[in-house]
Structure 1
Amino acid sequence: MHIMKKKLSILIPEYNTCCIKLVKSIQEQVSLINDLIYEIIVADDGSTNEKEWASNQSINNWSNCLFIRRDVNVGRAKIRNFLAQKAKYPWLLFIDCDMSIQNSDYISKYLQSEGDVIYGGYLTDNNPNKHINNLRYIYEKKAERTHTYLERRKNPYQDFHTSNFLIKREIMIRIPFDERFEHYGYEDVVFGRQLKENGIRINHINNPVIFEDFEDNEHFIIKTEEGLQTLSAFSNDLKGYSTLIKITTFLQRYHLINIIRMIYKITQKRIRKSLIGNHPKTFFFSFYKLGYFISIHKFH
């Protein structure tokens, strides 16, 4: 097998998650690739789960692996910039800690692909019985058809996510993640915009990781609300990169914002209760997101 990239840093930002299985599956693949020089670095972003942190410490005993613990949670942007600074090699492969790898040629496919930034995408765990009535699972599964590499290539900068991508280190050092994004959401969208503004092409390929670790419905709603607060705070940076901003701009143009706000105010508690219950519906989730955003955002 001919590989184009000979030196690789594999970087995993982690929070309250055991990465043992993921790191082992990566190490099994890279150890079989001739002439590849590699390192695997896991950075814990101020985890509060001592059990998971203790488990991950064992990674330091493995060949070419390093586990680093940060005492304070610095956020999704800063932890990735931190990992890029720590990395020794010219190519960086970022993988989210709650993903798993199923394809035996996952690493080699990246090493043979062209481009300065390459995004492999993700798939949702294909086991509905395991995640029955889980809102995050239902939502991700429904959206999966829009995540294929052919669909992503239609909007390459808007459809970029941090869960699974390869990038030249010098680009990451020159164009780091925007560290104003300390809370959940949209740091990857702004990074995609920064790449576009700097004329750096994203190559979308079919090399997915598997998303199989889903929070419960209530925590997903809380995380969604946090992401919508981020969207509101950085709405000027995200114009043209957010479907929700496009929708609210349309509603504002036709003077419909107050109507949606009123409907949301009346139905908010009832919809939220149904979403965290045993039979969540994606239609109500979409309306909840729209209503929540309109309720917190200051329109001009």
Structure 2
Amino acid sequence: MLSILIPTYHYKVYDLVCELQKQCEGAGIAYEIICQDDHSDSENNLENEKINLLDHCSFSSNAENLGRSKNRNVLVQKSNFPYLLFLDADTFPIQANFIATYLSEIRDEIKILYGGIRYQEQHPNQKQVLRWIYGRKREALTVDQRNKNVYLSFLTLNFLIHKDVFQTVSFNEDIPNMRHEDTLFSYELKKNNVPIKHIENPVYHYGLDDFDKALLKEHESLQALKNLIENGYLPTDYVKLSKLFSKITKFKLNFFVAFGFKCIRPILLKNISSSNPSLILFDVYRLGYICTI
């Protein structure tokens, strides 16, 4: 009935798999849990190999790096059941009835269920504060908040999907492995009128990057977004930031915004790396940076 698919890269997933296995056994369903490391050559895989000793569970590592999109598509190809539950390696179910909740929501007419995410209440160290605040304010949304923009509020780290959907929409393997593959996936779902039902069944997201790594990923994300728009994969108005960027481009103000950004960049960095970063200033930083690309 249910294939749980966990793409990994340099992360321990044994505890996550044990919890999911326990919940699936308790639900009394046919299931499989497939974990696939994307050629990280990580020492974490020594522990992950123990997954192969668990019933209905498997762990493998790719012989070469496939990228986030293809790694997920290969997981789908390996699966044997009609319902697929995608979970990121750095997540963990909050409730002991996590699997049961998803199962209770399955209907013939429902093709995708998104359960949402949460971040722990405990304040992290200063190096992780920006990612923590951004996640809590921009990603950890309630069902009502997500329903205001059903597709754009959909994230690929905790969702259940019918396998038939992948005959129409899969993760795009042609784009550079630079992030925003989930944004493009949600846009393709919207374009193909695939309905998404948002429910309250969150996982904790533990993957808090330090500031330097978070900023590097944001730079990659902005480059990816610009690439997707310039190559016609995404319309300029799908993401708020790209919509504003397109207006700046239309009026040929890129140079002025980029120049201003370079002047105030040290001030912006001082704030967003602090213990009390402003998301408004972070948005200013992101807009300025994309204008410099």
TM over 0.5: yes
Name the counterpart of 2:191: 197
Q: Does residue 206 of the first structure (1) align with residue 200 of the second (2)?
A: yes
* C-alpha deviation, 1:224, in angstroms: 0.6
Name the counterpart of 2:233: 237
> Are residues 269 and 48 of structure 1, via their aligned partners in 2, closer, same or farther at CA, if it must alter by over 3 Å?
farther
Q: Does residue 54 of the first structure (1) align with residue 49 of the second (2)?
A: no
Output the TM-score relative to the length of structure 1.
Answer: 0.89
Match of 1:188 among 167, 182, 190: 182
Deviation readout 1:262-283 (Å, 9 max, x if unpaired): 1112223453465446554433
Amino acid in structure 1 at the alignment position of 2:33 = I
Give the percent of matched residue pairs that are identical in Structure 1 and Structure 2. 33
Deviation readout 1:101-149 (Å, 9 max, x if unpaired): 1111111111111311111111112211x3445210121122256x211
The answer to whether the 8 Å contact 2:126/2:274 transfers is no
Q: Does residue 95 of the first structure (1) align with residue 87 of the second (2)?
A: yes
Higher mean displacement: 131-140 or 87-96: 131-140
Output the TM-score relative to the length of structure 2.
Answer: 0.91
Amino acid in structure 2 at the alignment position of 1:290 = L
The answer to whether the 8 Å contact 1:131/1:137 transfers is no
Instruction: Give 3-state SS (helix, strand or coil) of 1:140's partner.
Output: helix
> Are residues 292 and 276 of structure 1, via their aligned partners in 2, closer, same or farther at CA, if it must alter by over 3 Å?
same
Aligned residues between the structures:
286
**Coordinate RMSD, CA, aligned:** 1.9
Amino acid in structure 1 at the alignment position of 2:81 = Y
Instruction: Give 3-state SS (helix, strand or coil) of 1:31's partner.
Output: helix
Name the counterpart of 2:173: 179
Name the counterpart of 1:219: 213
Between the aligned partners of 1:71 and 1:269, the Cα distance in structure 2 is 42
Amino acid in structure 1 at the alignment position of 2:34 = I
Between the aligned partners of 1:164 and 1:54, the Cα distance in structure 2 is 25
Between the aligned partners of 2:176 and 2:203, the Cα distance in structure 1 is 25
Between the aligned partners of 1:69 and 1:133, the Cα distance in structure 2 is 31
Name the counterpart of 1:154: 148
Higher mean displacement: 230-239 or 85-94: 230-239
Deviation readout 1:230-252 (Å, 9 max, x if unpaired): 01111132223211111112334
Ranges in structure 2 where 5+ consecutive residues have no aligned partner:
none
